[in-house]
Chains A and B, each alone.
Chain A
Amino acid sequence: MTADTDVPPIVDVPLTPDVPPIVEMRGITIRFPGVLALDHVDFVLRPGEVHSLMGENGAGKSTLIKALTGVYQVDSGSITVAGSPRTFTSTADAQAAGISTVYQEVNLCTNLTVGENVMLGHEPRRGGAIDWRATHAEAARHLQSLRLSIDPRSLLSTHSIAVQQLVAISRAMVTEAKVLILDEPTSSLDRDEVDQLFAVIRELRAAGVAILFVSHFLDQVYEISDRITVLRNGSLVGEHPIAELPRDALVTKMIGRALDDLDALSRTAHRTVDRSGEPLLRAEGVGKRGVLEPADLEIYPGEVVGLAGLLGSGRTELVRLLCGADRADAGQVAVHGTPVKMTSPRHAIDHRIAFSSEDRRGEGVVADLTVAENIVLGIQARRGWARPIRKSEQDAIVAEYVEALGVRPANPDAVVGNLSGGNQQKVLLARWLATSPELIILDEPTRGIDVGAKADIQRKVAELSAQGLAVIFISSELEEVLRLAQRIAVLRDRRKIGEVDSSETDLDGLIDYLANEGKGSAA
């Protein structure tokens, strides 16, 4: 990573101690194997404020939250809640002290009713047995206070993620939380749902609840926050009232460098690709019943093809069929003009096609193995078990990719499960690049990772495609697709609806195409 440029780490805490803080964390230090996760970080939360915690992946946001909620024990430093020093050894301790958390992935039981979820562990009892009538009545009262008029007796799974998110918040309110931590609460919500959530947050703030808000969306941070604390690489960069921290200054503080180079990337998209020869990969009528209608796709060497479409549009399904992760029941795939069998990931790998899944933890990294073991896993699998990679060779490969992709910590022996999402993604990219593929399929490589790592990955994609690597790039963020891809295949409702040349369209044009193209004729 580049050195810190013109931004000296400013430590200017506390700002205006007009209200006594509800939470005061001082000199918090937490170590993990091979990682200094937090290094003497101070953090102050006051009643009646929305305080955003900002930083790249790996900056220490989650670690700080987990220290506050009792998931991790601090190695040094003090935590003071409502004026008295505390040592939390479990999440129950933190909850008892009035600190509640709503995580990114909703931590509720979808097979229980809304009321049961809200009241879980706090059900009113009568003669030892749970008084269900009172339970649901009280749940309804809590839901009402968040203006959520749903039946507490309905199953949680029947509601949208947004409603589940709000149910999780009302569950936090049952414990009469004085501090509410919202970790990426909006990542799966649409605009209206975000508005609903923000209305609730504002009411809670007015009621004097201190809210710690974490989000990757800058717009939302600026819309809701009163104050921002910025972390970088486990250290405190500074605490600022929102009005005193313009966006570009925030981004610069978060990543320690300006983002100009990302704009320079857009030139990739306008590169002309030689499509005169044989395509590297040609898919004809590839489909699977109930999954994807037969679709065609061609990719030439050095080309970046973007797949655009909403979640569930068939974009992931298409690439999984192309690389044998799932079996197609129709169509034909040809590599360099020769039809090939593509019924297992091995076939794809043998034809130098690499596929990096969107599910980083579930289908990507092997969490308990080290960075080095994860990186060479692809090569090792190709070679087979009988021909192990020599230690010296392994060290060279790992060192090369850790350096080239900026994996942090740059420690080959660090356990991958301990790395942040962005760094896990880099390890995955390294695994595939190490197998020297001719085509690499990246499904949502930038989801849930910070701006810095996103830029690193996009830069690498642009660089490699310029050198002749073919890339299929999937992202929910259409700007990214437009920036990187020369050609964009658009999917909707499990059907490929067409292709657009990215030099002939812009974001609005692409959204319009995605939403409306072919609507009339199909109906």
Chain B
Amino acid sequence: MTQIWKHRLFWPLAALITLIVVNSVARPRFLTITVRDGQLYGALIDILRNSAPLMLVALGMTIVIATRGIDLSVGAIMAVSGAVALTVIDGSNDPGNLGTVLVAVVVAVLVALVLGAWNGFLVAVLGIQPIIATLVLMLAGRGVALLITGGFITTVNSAPFSYIASGYLTVLPFAFFISVAAIAALALVERRTALGVLTEAVGINPEASRLAGVRSRGIVWGAYILSGVLAGVAGVIYASNIKAADANAAGLFIELYAILAVVLGGTSLAGGKFSIAGTVVGVLIIQTLGSTILFLGVPSAQSPVFFAVVVVVVVVVQSPRVRRALGSMTRRRPSTTAPDQERTKVAA
């Protein structure tokens, strides 16, 4: 037993597994996966599919938070991106055409990229505090989305567009593959290039990084662009799911859930060290919890309370104080291997 519980991912994973166990006890069908027409169905599959928008947004949020920032505008960017995509499809002569849908998605994501670049400009170039800089777009974004759709909820009937959220690629939902692709791409860039460590350096000590020659402006700017693009894709998935552009409801409060997922995954809001795997687990916890609440039949008015209680428990268990208390319970004799997650400051 080599102090597994001290691993950064231990508590998030324990929470996720607990949730899954509770669910499978309460409703045995939870774990059941049925095969229909060579495609997999079941509660777990639904969680994987429905978590796609939050997953994308939370991944972007992880990188932004690592740079000591925060991006409150992701929900609004989702609304704009959905509105753009639907407007392009709605305005074309052939909404069912694959080419039309591709153009719509590309335009929507490009618009999201521009919005992310705007956030990054405010933060990295003008030096505005991230919470204020992204608040601008958070408040204005939905207005822009409404402007694009002319104040209506645009709806379309386009098979290729619906496929994005509801379709299956071989045995699993297409949206799930989008999540996986984003996770893999991010993990690869972090591992195979120096971007991960440079981002952490900028997040931990911006001035030291600048003097060391790190182009921190580019790194911070890039983080907001990434967050914008991922929110754009999330907006497309959301719109595809409801086949409509709902500027008021799309991505509502998703920025808060994304921040929560990042924190649940063990990344500090103070910036610096970040964990992609942690965020993935954090998102799955939130999604599973949502599905649990739905299943347990908690009245929708009370569901936020239930949600909050569970989150508080997870966060408390992860807090340094509680972890230390748990640590002193198990540590009766001095350990020979030093724990590597404890970052005690020693100035000797």
Contact = CB atoms under 8 A, between A and B. Distances in A.
B207 A377 contact: no
Contacts of B213: 345-346, 349, 378, 381-382, 435
Contacts of A385: 193-195, 198, 219
Contacts of B194: 380, 383-389
Given A355-B211, A377-B201, A385-B219, A33 B339 contact: yes
B272 interface: yes
A61 interface: yes
Contacts of A389: 194
A497 B217 CA distance: 38
Interface string A358-389: 00001111111100010001101111111111
Contacts of B246: none
A346 B338 contact: no
B205 interface: yes
A54 interface: no
Interface residues of A, number: 54
A380 B202 CA distance: 13
A346 B208 contact: no
Given A31-B338, A60-B348, A385-B194, A368 B214 contact: no
Q: Is the interface of B mostly helix, strand, loop or mixed?
A: loop
A369 B201 contact: yes
Contact of A58 (B209, B219, B340, B348): B348
Nearest to B218: A385
Contacts of B204: 366-369
A72 B204 CA distance: 24
B348 A59 contact: yes
Contacts of A29: 334
Contacts of B212: 345, 366, 377-378, 381, 431
Interface string B152-184: 000000000000000000000000000000000
A363 B214 CA distance: 13
Contacts of B210: 344-345
Contacts, number: 124
A420 B200 CA distance: 22
B214 A33 contact: no
A384 B216 CA distance: 11
Interface string A44-58: 000000000000011
A34 interface: yes
Counting chain B CB atoms within 10 Å of each CB, the highest count among A61, A366, A367, A431 belongs to A366
A62 interface: yes
B222 to A, nearest CB: 9
A29 to B, nearest CB: 7
A109 B205 CA distance: 25
Contacts of A368: 200, 204, 272-273, 343
Contacts of B309: none
Interface in A21-42: 29, 31-35, 37
Contacts of B273: 368
B4 interface: no
A31 B339 CA distance: 10
A329 interface: no
Given A355-B211, A381-B212, A387-B194, A367 B205 contact: yes
Contact of B197 (A369, A386, A418): A369
Contacts of A378: 212-213
21 contacts: A34-B338, A35-B338, A37-B346, A62-B348, A325-B211, A345-B210, A345-B211, A345-B212, A368-B272, A369-B201, A373-B201, A377-B201, A378-B213, A381-B198, A381-B209, A381-B212, A382-B213, A389-B194, A415-B343, A417-B343, A417-B346
The 8 residue pairs across chains A and B that have the minimum distance between CB atoms: A381-B213, A388-B194, A75-B334, A349-B213, A381-B214, A385-B195, A33-B338, A366-B205
